[in-house]
């Protein structure tokens, strides 16, 4: 399977990846130049946090080998795809219980801000051929995709 490898030492906190993620998942047409960063509809699936020493820690979904989120899902919405290895989310099946939010050990998941009915989760940009836009947008090479 493929995973986004994080080299946090290279990250300088520009958050291009988060903006790219918001752009990739926006519901309205348009380019990154007119993306409304303050619209709660636009949410990033990845998170760049500043550590106490001022450096940055990129927190991205691992599409875990043994995904705890899947092991808490009571509707069948979250699944580990046997072929691709990706952990996929089916919004239509989701029952909005948010046990998965509680169960992801890295705190990657969250309910959507607008309706609290959906889970905001990395989909490896399957709509763009499975090439994550965050990776494409990183100017520092702090994240890259690797076959693991």
Partner 1 sequence: MRHVIIGTGAAGITAAAEIRKQDKDAEILMISSDSQVHSRCMLHKYLSHERTAGELDFTEEGFFEKNNISVVNGKAAAIDTEMKTVFLESGDEIAYNRLLIATGADSVIPPVGDLRKASNVFGLRHLSDAQKIDAMAEKAQNILIIGAGFVGLDAAYGLLERRKKVTVVEMATRILPLQLDEHGAKAYQELFEKEGVTFRLGRRVQDAVCGPDGQIHSVELDSGESVPCDMIIVAAGVRPSAGFLENSGIKADRGIEVTSRMETSVKDVYAAGDVTGLSGIWPNAMKQGKTAALNMCGVKQIAGADTEYTDTFCAKNTMNFFGLVTLCLGALIPEEGDEVLTEENKRIYRRAILRDGKVRGILLQGDISNSGIWQYIIKNEINVSGKEKKLFRLTFADFFGVGERGKYVWTF
**Which residues here bind ligand SF4, judged by CB under 6 A?**
61-64, 67-69, 72-75, 77-78, 87, 89, 94-100, 104, 106, 108-109, 119, 121
CA dist 24 and 45 (Å) reads 10
Dist CA 102 CA 78 (whole Å): 14
C-alpha closest to that of 99 among 125, 126, 67, 63 = 67
From the list ligand FAD, partner 1, ligand SF4, none, pick the one residue 49 interacts with, judged by a Cβ distance below 5 to 8 Å according to partner type. partner 1
Decide which of ligand FAD, ligand SF4, partner 1, none touches 8; Cβ closer than 5 to 8 Å per partner kind: partner 1
- Please report, as ranges, the residues that interact with partner 1 according to CB under 8 A: 3-6, 8, 47, 49-52, 56-57, 59, 62, 64-66, 68, 71-76, 79, 93, 95-99, 101-111, 113, 115-117, 146, 148
| Residues 110, 7: Cα–Cα separation, whole Å | 24
User: Which of 72, 88 has the CB closer to ligand FAD?
Assistant: 72
Q: Please check whether residue 25 is in contact with residue 37, taking contact to mean a CB–CB distance below 8 angstroms.
A: no
Task: Kindly state the smallest distance separating residue 107's Cβ from ligand FAD, in Å.
Answer: 19
Measured in whole angstroms, the distance separating CA 104 from the mean position of its chain's CA atoms is 12
């Amino acid at each position: 399977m493929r995973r986004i490898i994080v080299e946090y030492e290279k990250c300088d906190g520009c958050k291009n990846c988060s903006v790219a993620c918001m752009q990739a998942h926006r519901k309205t047409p348009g380019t990154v130049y007119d993306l409304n960063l303050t619209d709660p509809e636009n949410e990033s699936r990845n998170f760049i946090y500043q550590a106490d020493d001022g450096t940055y820690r990129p927190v991205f979904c691992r599409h875990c080998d043994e995904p705890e989120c899947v092991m808490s899902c009571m509707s069948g919405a979250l699944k580990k795809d046997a072929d691709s290895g990706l952990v996929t989310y089916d919004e239509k099946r989701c029952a909005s219980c948010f046990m998965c939010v509680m169960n992801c050990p890295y705190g990657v998941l969250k309910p959507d801000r607008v309706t609290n009915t959906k889970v905001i989760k990395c989909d490896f940009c399957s709509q763009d051929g499975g090439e994550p836009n965050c990776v494409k947008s990183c100017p520092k090479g702090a994240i890259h995709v690797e076959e693991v």
